[in-house]
Homo-oligomer: A and B are copies of this chain.
Amino acid sequence: MAAIIVLFTDFGLAGPYIGQVKTVLHQIAPGVPVIDLFADLPAAKPQPAAYLLAAYGGWFPPGTVILAIVDPGVGGKRAAVIVQADSRWYVGPDNGLFEIVTRRADQARSWEIPAPAEAISASFHGRDLFAPVAGLLARGDPLAGRLRPEGILRHPDWPDDLAEIVYIDRYGNAMTGLRAALIPDGARLAAAGRGLG
């Protein structure tokens, strides 16, 4: 099974950003399918996205490359990383987005992506920095980056399960940062005093 690339962003599908990212991916890794998973994550909020990524990422086949970008610090000093968690690859900003995926993985390693040789846009690392790295991974190029020590946590203060609503889907279903398997039988959830489910 050839690789697929999965997009997990707050860019919006209809505006100009996803299309530019897909153009870069196509140029670097032609023929590799690119799947839109989320394009409407809560804008500029890595924390809820981190729990959604942990809930959804593990469903994809081994070898999948997930390009995950919710990056309010773009152009600042946050690092850019590749994370391998179990058998999948994640590429994006080192701002906590991969915190929960990493904690829940049986095996996880990460690499820091070196700064590109040529000047790139300060505001669109998704297109100019992260997409090229994801494309190279998906086409099987050797990984370029510096392996980081294990155990780096960006947000040790974030709980393993987050008792908040992190996404509301088109039907009005509210998703939380809690793992269903850890909720006791018969438990009832409430938000703002109102019962859920």
Contacts and interface: CB of A to CB of B under 8 A. Distances in A.
Interface in A94-130: none
A170 interface: yes
A17 B35 CA distance: 11
Interface string A40-68: 10011000000010001001110000000
A14 to B, nearest CB: 4
A36 B60 contact: no
A4 B26 contact: yes
Given A12-B14, A170-B12, A19 B43 contact: no
- Within the oligomer, what is the number of copies of this chain? 3
Contact of A11 (B12, B26, B56, B170): B170
A196 interface: no
B27 A14 contact: no
B15 A13 contact: no
A91 to B, nearest CB: 17
Contacts of A38: 14-16, 19
A133 interface: no
Nearest to A61: B27
8 contacts: A10-B171, A12-B14, A13-B13, A13-B14, A15-B40, A15-B167, A18-B36, A26-B33
Given A12-B170, A15-B38, A44-B171, 17 more contacts: A4-B26, A10-B170, A11-B170, A13-B14, A13-B36, A15-B167, A16-B52, A16-B56, A17-B169, A19-B37, A22-B36, A23-B35, A23-B60, A26-B33, A26-B35, A27-B61, A40-B170
